[in-house]
Structure formats: structure tokens, C-alpha cells
């Protein structure tokens, strides 16, 4: 099983991931790729990312799907959908080349169907909080949200959105919804 959380900054992904991690310590958890890339390689992220940053992020998303984990179950904090959305934003603002965007889109297209479930965290009701690493620029967040909507809509139009689920509401409501989806898929997880 490979489950991922996806969405714009400050939409509750880490809160949900931490709750799932606390309740399921035997699962494999992969922390957010973007922040790790920033810390390990001192590369700019968010609005300041570029070709190298985005290429490394997408390469990590590939590795996260193909890496051998102890056991079979893994929960990811972000996935290839995040990589393509942020790369697309950077390309729209002249910070990433067309070649990088096209490669990122190709990788995304190859990976998006390989996740058992992608939980898109709705931003509604979740305040934008500056934690020192995520961007607190409201306009940037709004543009990222619009791109997520476009990518999810494209999956729906192409009838390929069977593994993408929007979670919204309180943390408890979100957790209950996640449990319901995973139960239907036969994935046993404590929530």
C-alpha cells in the first residue's frame, strides 16, 4: 500500500500524517520531500525554486514509489502531484524551464496512478501559518490551489481520479473519511 497526502502549503497535511503516524507506528512514513531537499542540499524552495530543485524533488517522488520498505505499507507526506503543481507554478513565473516542466509532467503522468490513495487536503477552514519554511504568501497559495484544482479536474475528465480523495472538515472528520476510504480499499489502518 502507498498512501499520500497532497495539497498546498498549510492545508493540514502534516497534522493528518502525524495523527496517522502516532496511531500506526509499524507503517513506513516518508516526511515531506521538499523540506528535506532544502535542508540536505540548501536549495531554494517555494516561490524561489528552480530547475535543479524541482528535478530533485520529482526524482525523490520516483524513489518514494520504488524504494523497498520494511513491510509493504508506506504513507507519504506529498507525492508527484505536488511536484508537478509547484513546478507548473514556477514555470508560469519564469523560474523553471519548459524542459523541466515537460519532464515533470511526464513523471507525474507515469506515477499518479501508482498510489493506492492520494488524499488532497482542502484548504477551507485551515489558516495559512508561517512555520519558517513554508511560504506564507497568500497570493502564491491561491495560485497553487488553482493549479491543484486544474490537475485534479483533468484526472476526473480523463476518468483517472479513482485514487484521489478530497478531505475536508475538522481533523476528526478528515481522519474518519480517510479511514472509510482505506477500509473500502481493504487497507487496515488505525484512525
Residue 132: pLDDT above 80? no
Mean pLDDT of the chain: 91
Residue 148: pLDDT above 70? yes
The whole-number pLDDT of residue 134 equals: 64
pLDDT digit string, tens, across residues 59-105: 999 999 999 887 778 999 999 999 999 999 999 999 999 999 999 99
Q: How far apart are CA 38 and CA 51, in angstroms?
A: 14
The whole-number pLDDT of residue 164 equals: 96
**pLDDT-based confidence at 50, cuts 50/70/90?**
very high
**H-run or E-run covering 74:** strand 74-77
The whole-number pLDDT of residue 116 equals: 93
Q: How far apart are CA 53 and CA 2, in angstroms?
A: 24
The whole-number pLDDT of residue 68 equals: 83
Q: How far apart are CA 82 and CA 96, in angstroms?
A: 15
pLDDT digit string, tens, across residues 23-38: 998 889 998 899 899 9
Q: What structural domains and CATH numbers belong to the chain?
A: 2-184 (3.40.50.300)
The whole-number pLDDT of residue 76 equals: 94
11 closest CA partner among 180, 175, 167: 167
What's this model's pTM, rounded to 2 decimal places? 0.91
Amino acid at each position: 500500500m502507498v498512501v499520500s497526502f497532497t495539497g498546498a502549503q498549510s492545508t493540514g497535511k502534516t497534522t493528518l500524517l502525524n495523527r496517522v503516524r502516532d496511531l500506526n507506528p509499524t507503517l513506513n512514513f516518508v516526511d515531506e520531500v521538499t523540506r528535506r531537499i532544502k535542508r540536505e542540499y540548501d536549495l531554494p524552495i517555494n516561490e524561489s525554486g528552480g530547475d535543479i530543485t524541482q528535478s530533485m524533488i520529482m526524482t525523490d517522488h520516483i524513489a518514494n514509489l520504488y524504494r523497498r520498505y520494511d513491510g509493504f505499507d508506506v504513507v507519504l507526506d506529498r507525492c508527484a502531484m505536488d511536484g508537478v503543481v509547484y513546478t507548473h507554478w514556477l514555470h508560469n513565473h519564469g523560474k523553471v524551464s519548459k524542459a523541466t516542466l515537460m519532464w515533470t509532467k511526464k513523471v507525474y503522468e507515469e506515477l499518479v496512478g501508482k498510489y493506492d490513495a492520494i488524499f488532497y487536503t482542502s484548504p477551507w477552514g485551515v489558516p495559512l501559518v508561517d512555520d519558517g519554511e513554508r511560504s506564507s504568501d497568500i497570493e502564491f497559495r491561491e495560485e497553487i490551489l488553482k493549479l491543484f484544482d486544474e490537475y485534479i479536474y483533468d484526472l476526473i475528465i480523463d476518468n483517472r481520479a479513482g485514487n484521489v480523495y478530497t478531505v475536508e472538515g475538522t481533523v476528526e472528520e478528515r481522519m474518519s473519511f480517510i479511514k472509510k476510504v482505506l477500509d473500502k480499499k481493504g487497507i487496515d489502518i488505525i484512525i
